Structure 1
Amino acid sequence: MRPSPPLRQRVLSFIGDDQYNLAERAIHSLDTTELAADSVQDLLTARLSEGSYAIKKLIIGKLAHAPGLHSRTVTGLVSVLNGTNPELTGNVLDLFALHRIGNIDVARHAASLLAKQNGFVARKAYNYLHGLPIQDPYVERQIKIYENKQVKE
């Protein structure tokens, strides 16, 4: 039995609240059908800018169960790549790889991460880019620089 729309909205309103347990349960209650809806993905992506690290991690993990990511969702997730948390950046790159996001802007942003001092982030960006058939001079150049750097080390 599916919850009524008002009940679903009430449950979703708990995501991002100060009470982690309620937010966690609300996120876990979303099924694949609901995750396919752009409105649900929009809500989850909006919560990334205001939630705690733990909530952000749950949201990114839940989006891995979506049948696909809408373009606004992808755009919203790119902001996480600009963040200071390497683990969340890695999780978003893994999510992009899982959903085979071949958006050129995302690929260029990921390519810029190859030059990061943080080897974990650079490796995640490389793994994401390496699995895509992107033919962009900037991306290809950044990959080549990264690969040459790895050979020297």
Structure 2
Amino acid sequence: MNLLRFTLSTGEELRYFKVATIGGDYPQNQVSSIAYKDTLTDDSLFLVQSQAGIPLHYFKLITTEVCFERECRLLNIRVYWNITGRYLGFELPAGEFLSKRDHEPFSSEEYERLNDLLANPNLPLGNISFEALIETPAPDSVDAVSGATTTDVAKMVVKGAAYTTYTLWNILHGPSRERVAGLTEKQLTPELIDLILHSPDISDRVWALNRIDPKNTLSPKLSTSIMAFIVGDDFYLAYTAVRAITAAHLRAEALQLALFGAYPVASHSIQSMIISKLTEAPYLSPVLISRSRSLLGTLNGKQLGDILKWYAHHGVNDLETGQAVAEILKNENRFISRQAYTFLKKMNSFDAGITAALAAYEQK
């Protein structure tokens, strides 16, 4: 792969865009562009970055023929990706336009529809050939490109511009998309990941969470961003954020305390994940154990069971914890008190108070 640099051209253009991963208006003189050249395909993918080296987006210049009724015109368009590989938008040079059959230019509504279709990664346009999109005309009729689209496919293309829709969608969601993501992955730093975690698009945030370095300590900014997701309203973001935390990250006492601090306000499912994740920690902070003890009397049966299993896994058997669990033996809910009893029996404490509490429970 050869690395080339070039300067962006200026001029009025027709532009349709979705929300950017990293927002902000960057004047022309505050960005630079790098072209990644594939010598096998003679195809270039351009990265636009800020003066500080922050990647902003990628684009590719597309020049191809679009044919209708055996007549062709050259399509000149620039397509854009966000740095996570997500579709960003398209741009036409001044005087250029997209057209349908009979060379009728797109309306504003049709440009908007194309923009929405290209932004949808779930269209099945990558799994079928273009010929399958249309009702092929008779052999002596006009070429297949001008055939009518089928009823199902009409929902996936701009009417009268099936080929244009199909071609652009496959360019945007084909190998170039993976290449974009791969190029960004090579540039990831904790600072860049944190920027992506603040994207207005949830798929960007999930993308960044799934690429957090599993081996090195999390920066304070990353820890704060992750914890905000865990206590947030979006379950999938919270789920992905908890999964992004590793045993290596949990070497940091501050992260252990922050993660358990989210426990009281998290949803029930996320609470179970938090305790399961803390089970993976290489050790438990004494401060964490102390804080968890203060919650024992407020927990329901499922929550108590999770935490007692967590204690058992880490060999938590100090006197203060044993005494706190012994208090639960007085709970009228037999399911709850029985879990405390089972834990204490395995703990095998010689403390007189705990032994007396167990004997009293057994006589009930």
If the length of structure 1 is used for normalisation, what is the TM-score?
A: 0.85
Instruction: Choose which of 283, 308, 312 in structure 2 pairs with 1:93.
Output: 308
2:347 counterpart letter in structure 1? L
Question: For residue 352 of structure 2, what is the aligned residue in structure 1?
Answer: 137
Contact 1:86 1:120 in 2 (8 A): yes
For residues 284 and 334 of structure 2, the distance between their equivalents in structure 1, rounded to whole angstroms, comes to: 27
Quote how far apart the aligned CAs of 1:16 are. Answer: 0.7
**1:64-108 deviation per Cα after TM superposition (whole angstroms, max 9, x unaligned):** 111221111112222331214221012111111121111211111
Quote how far apart the aligned CAs of 1:61 are. Answer: 1.7
Question: For residue 63 of structure 1, what is the aligned residue in structure 2?
Answer: 278
Instruction: Choose which of 256, 259, 268 in structure 2 pairs with 1:53.
Output: 268
Q: What SS does the corresponding residue of 1:49 show, helix, strand or coil?
A: helix
1:43 counterpart letter in structure 2? A
For residues 38 and 62 of structure 1, the distance between their equivalents in structure 2, rounded to whole angstroms, comes to: 14
How many residues get paired?
149
For residues 49 and 8 of structure 1, the distance between their equivalents in structure 2, rounded to whole angstroms, comes to: 18
For residues 336 and 312 of structure 2, the distance between their equivalents in structure 1, rounded to whole angstroms, comes to: 14
Quote how far apart the aligned CAs of 1:115 are. Answer: 2.0
Find out whether 1:25 has 2:236 as its counterpart. no
Contact 1:96 1:128 in 2 (8 A): no
Question: For residue 298 of structure 2, what is the aligned residue in structure 1?
Answer: 83
2:336 counterpart letter in structure 1? V
2:213 counterpart letter in structure 1? R
For residues 46 and 147 of structure 1, the distance between their equivalents in structure 2, rounded to whole angstroms, comes to: 35
Find out whether 1:127 has 2:342 as its counterpart. yes
Unaligned runs of 5+ in 2: 1-211
Contact 1:80 1:92 in 2 (8 A): no
For residues 11 and 44 of structure 1, the distance between their equivalents in structure 2, rounded to whole angstroms, comes to: 9
For residues 125 and 68 of structure 1, the distance between their equivalents in structure 2, rounded to whole angstroms, comes to: 23
1:86 counterpart letter in structure 2? G
Q: What SS does the corresponding residue of 1:23 show, helix, strand or coil?
A: helix
Larger of the two Rg values belongs to structure? 2
For residues 36 and 130 of structure 1, the distance between their equivalents in structure 2, rounded to whole angstroms, comes to: 30
For residues 80 and 57 of structure 1, the distance between their equivalents in structure 2, rounded to whole angstroms, comes to: 15
Q: What SS does the corresponding residue of 2:229 show, helix, strand or coil?
A: coil
**1:45-71 deviation per Cα after TM superposition (whole angstroms, max 9, x unaligned):** 111222222222221121111122111
Quote how far apart the aligned CAs of 1:7 are. Answer: 4.0
Question: For residue 39 of structure 1, what is the aligned residue in structure 2?
Answer: 254
Quote how far apart the aligned CAs of 1:2 are. Answer: 2.0
Quote how far apart the aligned CAs of 1:144 are. Answer: 1.3
Contact 2:297 2:328 in 1 (8 A): no
Unaligned runs of 5+ in 1: none
Structure 1 stretch displaced more, 33-42 or 48-57: 48-57
Q: Percent identity?
A: 27
2:344 counterpart letter in structure 1? L
Instruction: Choose which of 97, 102, 121 in structure 1 pairs with 2:317.
Output: 102
1:2 counterpart letter in structure 2? D
Q: CA distance change for structure 1 residues 131 and 102 in 2, over 3 Å: closer, same or farther? A: same
For residues 50 and 61 of structure 1, the distance between their equivalents in structure 2, rounded to whole angstroms, comes to: 16
Instruction: Choose which of 213, 221, 224 in structure 2 pairs with 1:2.
Output: 213
1:81 counterpart letter in structure 2? L
Q: CA distance change for structure 1 residues 18 and 120 in 2, over 3 Å: closer, same or farther? A: same
Structure 1 stretch displaced more, 23-32 or 54-63: 54-63
Structure 1 stretch displaced more, 104-113 or 128-137: 128-137
